[in-house]
Amino acid sequence: MLTYQFPAVKGFQAGNEYYICMVPLGLLNKIFIANNEDVAPDYRAQRKLNQARIPEIRDYILDHRDTYVFSALAASIDGGMDFIPCSESDRVGVLQVDMAASFLINDGQHRRAAIEAALIEDETLKDETISIVFYKDKGLQRSQQMFTDLNKHAVTTSKSLNTLYDSEDPVAIITKNVVNRINFLRKYTDKEKDNLSKFSSNLFTLNTFFTANKRITKIIGVTVESEKRILKYWETVVANMNEWNEMDAGELSKKSLREDYITTQGLIILSLGRLCEFFCNTQYIDMGKTLSGLKKIDWRRNNEACWLKRAIKPNGQINRNEQGIFLTYIQIKRLLSLPISSDEEKKEKILMG
């Protein structure tokens, strides 16, 4: 009998054996060959493959060729399999699997597909390995339950925490540096959460500034000089936001700042990010002098003349979509007496109806 042979460690869960094996990346497309994309969900043990996710994971591998990290896949084997222990231990050995056996991924199908896509670009990856936890297949119902059990307790990390822990993305590094160097932002920016409760001690999220800075760096690039420009911009913004500074000085409560004004909304940070983009494209305007006009803007929620159908929806809720960000950005430009292009005016008129 022809077999696959994988270095393995045997374990037990719920009274059943399982095996952690080291599998060469080049072997994945040979053992996982079943295609159930056209099978009804009742008869599948996996969700349909989302092709849109594959390029991002593939590029992560290729762009981080020396540092990429993947967690183990989980799979079931339907066919002959035999564990051959080493003489020193009955837990460490070799898992022999009949080449005619079927392998079914229970968790990690997108990682598998991305690895196969990366191998097309860089075949030298084929001898590297990934760990796979193999279980004995016990039928469709059990495989479906395994998929549910493996995924229903998974918690996606926040974008803010991803930014905080990312030491390779240059925009993430710039954002962390800028937030840490500006005392006000360091004090009131949450580095773990993407959504803040009304009782949070923080006012902003790290992800909001990352998103704003990502747009800015598309214009000015990612260099030491661009970080200085971004730092200078946000320093100037903070210095000219009266309500922020009044709150920091104890003259305005956080409750009032959140409930009565719009300045702590992510929409405003992203609109100000677009404003920085404007300054980066316009050399002849004095940024510092212009931004001093932020002090004169009435940022109150009930200032409908300025913010209704822009930052504020007709139902009173914050308008967090791209349309709201653009319309708020245009209004801030208008209030700062900055030029508005004919294209911007045309787009504003269409969006405002």
Q: Are residues 216 and 277 in the same domain?
A: yes
Q: Are residues 240 and 99 in the same domain?
A: no
Q: What is the pLDDT of residue 78?
A: 87
Quote the percentage of the chain above a pLDDT of 90: 69
Please write the tens of the pLDDT for every residue from 53-65.
899 999 999 988 8
Q: What is the pLDDT of residue 347?
A: 95
- pLDDT reading at 147 higher than 70: no
Q: What is the pLDDT of residue 34?
A: 55
Q: Report d(CA 224, CA 228) in Å as an integer.
A: 6
Per-residue confidence at 128, pLDDT binned at 50, 70, 90?
A: very high
Q: Are residues 121 and 186 in the same domain?
A: no
Reading the block at residue 312, the tokens are 């504020």
If you average pLDDT over every residue of the chain, what do you get? 89
Domain termination site, one of 107, 130, 151: 151
Q: Report d(CA 324, CA 309) in Å as an integer.
A: 8
Averaged pLDDT, 20-44: 72
Q: Are residues 195 and 69 in the same domain?
A: no
Please write the tens of the pLDDT for every residue from 158-199.
999 989 988 889 999 999 999 999 999 999 999 999 999 888
Q: What is the pLDDT of residue 150?
A: 65
Q: Are residues 147 and 176 in the same domain?
A: no
Q: Are residues 175 and 147 in the same domain?
A: no
Q: Are residues 168 and 313 in the same domain?
A: yes
Q: Give residue 322's domain range.
A: 159-352
Q: What is the pLDDT of residue 90?
A: 84
Of 159, 280, 152, which is closest to residue 211 (Cα–Cα)?
159
Three-state DSSP class for 20? strand
Averaged pLDDT, 109-115: 91
Averaged pLDDT, 98-105: 88
Domain termination site, one of 118, 135, 151: 151
Per-residue confidence at 46, pLDDT binned at 50, 70, 90?
A: low
Of 322, 329, 275, which is closest to residue 307 (Cα–Cα)?
329
Q: What is the pLDDT of residue 151?
A: 64
- pLDDT reading at 14 higher than 70: yes
Question: 9 - beta bridge partners?
Answer: 20, 92
Domain termination site, one of 151, 178, 194: 151
pTM: 0.77
Q: Are residues 184 and 307 in the same domain?
A: yes
Q: Are residues 144 and 242 in the same domain?
A: no
Per-residue confidence at 140, pLDDT binned at 50, 70, 90?
A: low
Whether the Cβ atoms of residue 106 and residue 150 lie closer than 8 Å to each other: yes
Q: What is the pLDDT of residue 42?
A: 47
Q: What is the pLDDT of residue 39?
A: 46
Q: Are residues 127 and 274 in the same domain?
A: no
Of 207, 177, 178, 181, which is closest to residue 192 (Cα–Cα)?
207
Q: What is the pLDDT of residue 47?
A: 59
Please write the tens of the pLDDT for every residue from 226-262.
999 999 999 999 999 999 999 999 999 999 999 999 9
203 backbone dihedrals φ, ψ, rounded to 5°? -115, -25
Please write the tens of the pLDDT for every residue from 272-288.
999 999 999 888 899 99
10 backbone dihedrals φ, ψ, rounded to 5°? -90, 140
What is the SS3 string spanning 75-125?
A: EEEECCEEEEECCCCCCEEEEEEECCCEEEEEECHHHHHHHHHHHHHCHHH
Q: What is the pLDDT of residue 43?
A: 41
Rg of the chain (C-alpha set)? 27
Q: What is the pLDDT of residue 26?
A: 93
Most confident among 26-30, 36-40, 140-144, 240-244 (mean pLDDT): 240-244
- Specify the higher pLDDT residue, 42 or 310: 310
Question: 20 - beta bridge partners?
Answer: 9, 133
Q: Are residues 245 and 296 in the same domain?
A: yes
Whether the Cβ atoms of residue 244 and residue 184 lie closer than 8 Å to each other: yes
Averaged pLDDT, 193-221: 94
- Structurally, how many domains does the chain consist of? 2
Supply the angle between the helices 266-281 and 322-335 in degrees, to the nearest 10: 60
Averaged pLDDT, 20-33: 90
Of 271, 283, 243, which is closest to residue 334 (Cα–Cα)?
271
Q: Are residues 164 and 306 in the same domain?
A: yes
Whether the Cβ atoms of residue 210 and residue 266 lie closer than 8 Å to each other: no
Averaged pLDDT, 45-51: 68
- pLDDT reading at 87 higher than 50: yes
